[in-house]
Structure 1
């Protein structure tokens, strides 16, 4: 992997030492130009004619995303965010009173709100799965909960937002499949940094973002829906993209994952997403994962060696998200001070995860998420900044 070349294709690398890749990663010039080129085409031809002219390229995005996930193109829906993808999947499930939803304790707040709304609306039970000693889903506890019966859905995040771990997604999938439960994996922070093989993972549904580790435009996301279950899931909203109006009192919903799409969408951003996915596939998710892991462990070791700094990451397998605090220093002060020094991180709030009752969970942490285009020198800048603040 030629890091010098990759950084030269990423204009943002000349501006800052960028460590907010789990939020919205820096785009390459090619991705940005792909978006701009289509906007220029729309300016010349109008939105509809421009979309028709690029129809084959839009179709190719489905193929690229399917390759990323080892899925089929007809199992992919392209939407405007990971939130939209997750919502369309979750709210398509016909919950009944007494159904059980099992989820991770480190669940994203938006997803947690969806579970609680389903609890009030349908009378389902929402049950956080205990953590094991590493902080990830306790597989033995999950197996026991599934054996009790009545589980309609197992829904977990692949990479939590605030503690660096990677959930054992494939092992969770095997247990959920054995119990006959639907399995929804939120891969918004793992797509682009971890290999995602939906056949190996065993999920029925997977949602992801374009703006994070895939380095695509904001306002893009995608949903994978296993073709074995797609016709059992009715989208919470329909339009003429998702269904056909067949008569005064009848309609027919599409038989593939595009039943979860909307007619109106930003074609320029979708093409940008396709360009970003193609770049990731060209580099190879394996090499990307290896470099991210190396950089993340280097950063963890460097932070741990600093006086008063505590790294809060957990898990047997860890991601590119590195979280830490410094004794006697306000977290926002650290984030602001690093930004003033040209180092971009993020303040993350573990306190927002209300299912997580881990006694040592901090209220706030600094989150530094590395990507393959980060360098040893940039890690040194971050460490120097933390030491001096």
Structure 2
């Protein structure tokens, strides 16, 4: 019992820190095992879908979210429609306005997509969603921890993000924000004694975001998450954002000067993700070769952001994710290694 009481204190400390990071209240924060799990639970809690119902998504929507939406759409007759982009590749707010009608039940946006440095206009899209009274979900998986995430300014009903990325928290932890004023829209299809405690023989849903939690929580992981949240708050998101964006922009500029290398980031405002391709060398090979030199990058395929990759005729890109722990010397090491790869292709 004593250990349980201490665990509860630790979990609630993490919840308060999470709410401070997002400009939310502790009652609007739930902890889940992954970002996709949290997003899926919130989506399932929207209720039954019907033929003709519409979901509007950005072109860069995360593949895991799309899998959930298409599974429901296939079973119900609902539709998933892609919002067109502006010329710079970002989701078009004007096009969104034109797509909205009485059948739209959800607007879903991946704010900072997994396949590059684009930052979508999440606040402007939130204003459209609020004006029309449509639920608005934001996938902030790549935004959380590297840029300011203010749920009040975003006007979103749901926002999720895994802690293991830029926030540098433990794998197996994620934040799920559910707006208090919108909570009545969401009825989770499965519950337990925490999320819907019994009142007599009636299960009564909690009146906070913990209706999406279960009674068993990974306390050790959440203690690690609490530390990660507090570190981000102590350093300051503005400082983190300024540093990682400057380093990322330096990488873009230097990579663009290498013959045979194409920087693939679209949009007008960029995050700490840098995407590129090397002519004649698969992204997976670039990843392996850089890894052998102690440089960690990702090889991102179509399944991560299928609509966007296909629209740009891309099958694979290399992605560098810049941390505030990185230093300029590491930027130079990456650029030098990529330059070497373009000159020596004997391994391919």
Q: Secondary structure of the residue that 1:328 maps to in structure 2?
A: coil
Equivalent position of 1:323 in the other structure: 275
Which of 292, 302, 305 aligns to 2:254? It is 302
Q: Secondary structure of the residue that 2:306 maps to in structure 1?
A: coil
Equivalent position of 2:32 in the other structure: 79
Equivalenced residues, count: 340
The answer to whether the 8 A contact 2:118-2:265 is kept is: yes
Deviation digits for residues 89-109 of structure 1 (CA, Å, limit 9, x no counterpart): 111112431221000111111
Matches within 5 A, 1:119-198: 119-146=73-100, 148-198=101-151
Distance 2:104 2:166 in 1: 32
Name structure 2 gaps, 5 residues minimum.
342-348
Moved more, 178-187 or 223-232: 223-232
The CA deviation at 1:114 is 0.9
Q: Secondary structure of the residue that 1:185 maps to in structure 2?
A: strand
The CA deviation at 1:263 is 1.2
Equivalent position of 2:49 in the other structure: 96
Deviation digits for residues 316-347 of structure 1 (CA, Å, limit 9, x no counterpart): 11111101111111222111110001101110
Equivalent position of 2:346 in the other structure: none
Distance 2:255 2:185 in 1: 49
Q: Secondary structure of the residue that 2:148 maps to in structure 1?
A: coil
Equivalent position of 1:361 in the other structure: 313
The answer to whether the 8 A contact 2:109-2:139 is kept is: yes
Equivalent position of 1:114 in the other structure: 68
User: Are residues 337 and 268 of structure 1, via their aligned partners in 2, closer, same or farther at CA, if it must alter by over 3 Å?
Assistant: same
Equivalent position of 1:10 in the other structure: none
Equivalent position of 2:345 in the other structure: none
The CA deviation at 1:368 is 0.4
TM-score norm. by structure 1 comes to 0.85
Equivalent position of 2:19 in the other structure: 66
TM-score norm. by structure 2 comes to 0.95
Q: Does 1:264 align with 2:212?
A: no
Distance 1:352 1:305 in 2: 27
User: Are residues 218 and 152 of structure 1, via their aligned partners in 2, closer, same or farther at CA, if it must alter by over 3 Å?
Assistant: same
Distance 1:169 1:359 in 2: 21
Structure ranking higher on relative contact order (CA contacts 8 Å, 6+ apart): 1
The answer to whether the 8 A contact 1:76-1:258 is kept is: yes
Matches within 5 A, 1:372-383: 372-383=324-335
RMSD after superposition: 1.4
The CA deviation at 1:352 is 4.9
The CA deviation at 1:361 is 3.4
Q: Secondary structure of the residue that 1:265 maps to in structure 2?
A: coil
Q: Does 1:386 align with 2:314?
A: no
Distance 1:341 1:234 in 2: 50
Q: Secondary structure of the residue that 1:87 maps to in structure 2?
A: helix
Name structure 1 gaps, 5 residues minimum.
1-47
Equivalent position of 1:226 in the other structure: 179
